Amino acid sequence: MAAVIPAGTVGWGMQLPIQSQSTAFVQPWEADGTPDDVAAVAVAADGAGAFYIAVCDHVVIPRPLDETMGEVWYDTVATLGWLAAKTERVQLLSHVYVVPYRSPLVTAKAFSTLDLLSGGRAILGVGAGHVEGEFELVGESFSERGRSLDAALPIIREAFATGEYGDALVSPRSPRPGGTPIWVGGSSLPALRRAARMDGWLPQGPPKMGMRAAVEFLRTARLEHFGSDEPFDLGINSEPIYVGEPTWETGPHTLSGEPAKIAARLSKYAAIGANHIQIRLAARGRDELVDQIGRFGAEVWPLVEPPS
């Protein structure tokens, strides 16, 4: 398995609201949000041409971290499976699934099944995790999380690609040749090294080396590992966006204004080498967010220039 985004094109995606409510990104209206609101946003993104919708992963939030992380975190696989039945085209991404919490074979089973049931629309986004207390509560080692993820990825890849692990069978399988794509989340050097051996990268904050240097690092690492310039799905995160001129305070660093202005900024991200851009649209409620998604898909995205 390699890139899933067609060469010469760029896609956009978004993490869904409500299903995770960290104070780092939650908007006030989400506190009273419902599953119906999550579904409405997912359906709107599907209709607006989003390449993916994403759901986060935390099993349990130790106090007092709930004061900053919030307490609401929907189960990743259950939510993506539910949304698979409500959408038609959009890819279903875990951003990111903390593999060290679980057996790699359990992860492989869950996502190959999701891929099959969704008609080949699942993407396994993986990460090492960062909440030490959460590792303790699920009975796994925080200090070994990086090594655990490194050991798990070849097992998951083998199960995805062959439906086997050693003398055992892991079925059902993804309908896609090579199995479900694996994108690696994180901006640390170990995360970049892992991403270079998989199918895509999901940055979480700007890398210390900078985005351009990270893109070059990934390309060089992939050339060394594969011996050729294998296609690769490389992501970038945009600042918050509001299409049009807001009449309310949308928060710091929000990119707003005419579609051409927003598209020009996103085109610069694509020019760095990214072929998928994660956006976050500012809104005061479900209806405004659905409207913003529609405007973004119809007015902004057609103006974004793909990577050269």
Segments making up each domain of the chain, as ranges: 11-303
The predicted structure's pLDDT at residue 257 = 98
Q: What's domain 11-303's superfamily in CATH?
A: Luciferase-like domain (3.20.20.30)
pLDDT range class, residue 167, cuts 50, 70, 90:
very high
pLDDT (0 to 100) of residue 255: 97
Residue 2 pLDDT exceeds 80: no
The answer to whether residue 1 scores a pLDDT higher than 60 is: no
pLDDT surpassing 90 at residue 205? no
Q: pTM higher than 0.95 for the full model?
A: yes
pLDDT of residue 57: 97
3-state secondary structure the chain: CCCCCCCCCCEEEEECCCCECCCCCCCHHHHHCCHHHHHHHHHHHHHCCCCEEEECCCCCCCCCCHHHHCCCECCHHHHHHHHHCCCCCCEEEECCEEHHHCCHHHHHHHHHHHHHHCCCCEEEEEECCCCHHHHHHHCCCCCCHHHHHHHHHHHHHHHHHHCEECCEECCCCCCCCCCCCEEEECCCHHHHHHHHCCCEEECCCCCCCCHHHHHHHHHHHHHHHHCCCCCCEEEEEEEEEEEECCCCCCCCCCEEECHHHHHHHHHHHHHHCCCEEEEEECCCCHHHHHHHHHHHHHHHHHHCCCCC
Answer whether residue 307 shows pLDDT above 90.
no
